[in-house]
Every structure is written in C-alpha cells, then in structure tokens.
Amino acid sequence: MKRLIIFTLGVVLLMAAGLGLLYFSAEYTGTTLLMNKSIETILLGRLRVCGQEFEIRILVSGGETSLEYEVRGDCHYDVALTVKGGRTLNKGD
C-alpha cells in the first residue's frame, strides 16, 4: 500500500513538472494595433515589446498598422513616437 502511494505521488509530481516545462517553453504570438488618432503625422516610431524592437515610419493621421511579436513570458513595452511638429512622445511600463 505504501509503495502504491509513493508511486502515485511520483507520477503526479512528474506530470506536474512536465506541464510546467511545457508552459514555460511554449511560444505564443501577440498582436498590437497602432492607430494614429492625432491630427499630426507620425514621422518615426519605435515599439519595443518582449525584447523585440519594431520601427514605424510615416503613419498619417487616421492611419493604422499592426505588428506581431513572440511572447515567451512576462513582457514589458516601450513606445517612442516623433510627430511632424517635432514633438517626441514616450510611454512604457
């Protein structure tokens, strides 16, 4: 009886470890939609998310673009935009 309990506990622990490895090694895809709702044209933009960097060039007022990136865990983002009037906007977490 004691052997059966130990065996069952061992199998459960191995299954839990396997699921944990599967979760942390899985890759997922994220999508971001960048919409220019300002009255100015974005001349240059940079989005850094999950350690990947994307450059956006000339996004007119009312325009939009989408970006796909790989998600491998907890991610942070940083956005920097330069508009036609010369202002620079920065946002991040």
Structural domains of the chain, ranges and CATH numbers in brackets: 28-92 (2.60.40.2890)
pLDDT at 43: 93
- What pLDDT, on the 0 to 100 scale, is given for residue 55? 93
Give CA–CA dist 33/56, Å, rounded. Answer: 12
Distances (CA, A) of 46 to 5, 52, 56, 78, 81: 56, 10, 6, 8, 6
What does pTM read for this prediction? 0.63
pLDDT in tens, 42-81: 999 999 988 899 998 998 999 988 889 888 777 888 889 9
| Angle (CA) 65 61 50, round 5° | 35
Among residues 84, 82, 71, the alpha carbon closest in space to that of 28 is found at: 71
